[in-house]
């Protein structure tokens, strides 16, 4: 825990003091974490990312990278070559995010089956007792 839990305020404002919300606003979208994880492995250029992340559109890749750069998680390095080439790399700040992200990933790996089981159980229950 981050020191003592302060006062443990009874009321939480989503837009306010909640730190988790901030992270989620940063990387809670569809593609950010994938990009961060990929860049955690090594520097990638635009087209590499585009190929690596199956299903992402050019538009979303651009937008997501721009947001990550704005938040100081990745750097954008254009090379004045022909053809042009742009490298994306994790910043120091971005690299620090890898650890907690990995923790989440581990959790997902560990409990993936439980979640699926719970979901099946829940959905089955709806089938057997749609008796209002």
Partner DNA sequence: CTGTATCCAAACAGATACTG
Partner DNA sequence: CAGTATCTGTTTGGATACAG
SS3 at position 71? coil
Given DNA, a copy of itself, none, residue 15, with its beta carbon under 5 to 8 Å by kind, binds a copy of itself
Count of residues near DNA by CB under 7 A: 23
Residue 112 in the binding site for DNA (CB under 7 A): no
Per-residue contact track with DNA, 24 to 53, x per CB under 7 A?
-----xxx-------------xxxx-x---
Residue 25's closest CA among 80, 124, 33, 1?
33
User: 97, exposed or middle or buried, with CB in 10 Å at 0-12, 13-18, 19+?
Assistant: buried
Residue 77's closest CA among 60, 90, 64, 95?
90
Residue 78 in the binding site for a copy of itself (CB under 8 A): no
Residue 67: DSSP 8-state: H
Distance CA(8)–CA(46), nearest Å, equals 44
Residue 127 in the binding site for a copy of itself (CB under 8 A): no
Q: How far is the CB of 53 from DNA (least distance, A)?
A: 10
Rg of the chain over all Cα atoms, to the nearest angstrom: 20
Which of 86, 98 has the CB closer to DNA? 86
Residue 53 in the binding site for a copy of itself (CB under 8 A): yes
Binding site for DNA (CB under 7 A): 29-31, 45-48, 50, 55-60, 62, 65-66, 76, 78, 83-86
């Amino acid at each position: 825990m981050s020191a003592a839990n302060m006062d443990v305020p009874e009321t939480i404002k989503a837009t306010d003091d909640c730190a988790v919300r901030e992270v989620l606003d940063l990387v809670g979208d569809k593609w950010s974490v994938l990009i961060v994880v990929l860049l955690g492995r090594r520097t990638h250029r635009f087209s590499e990312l585009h190929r690596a992340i199956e299903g992402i559109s050019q538009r979303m890749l651009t937008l997501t990278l721009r947001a990550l750069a704005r938040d100081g998680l990745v750097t954008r390095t254009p090379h004045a070559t022909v053809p042009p080439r742009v490298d994306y790399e994790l910043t120091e700040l971005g690299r620090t995010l890898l650890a907690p992200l990995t923790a989440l990933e581990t959790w997902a790996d560990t409990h993936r089956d439980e979640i699926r089981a719970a979901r099946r159980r829940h959905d089955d229950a709806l089938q057997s007792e749609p008796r209002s």
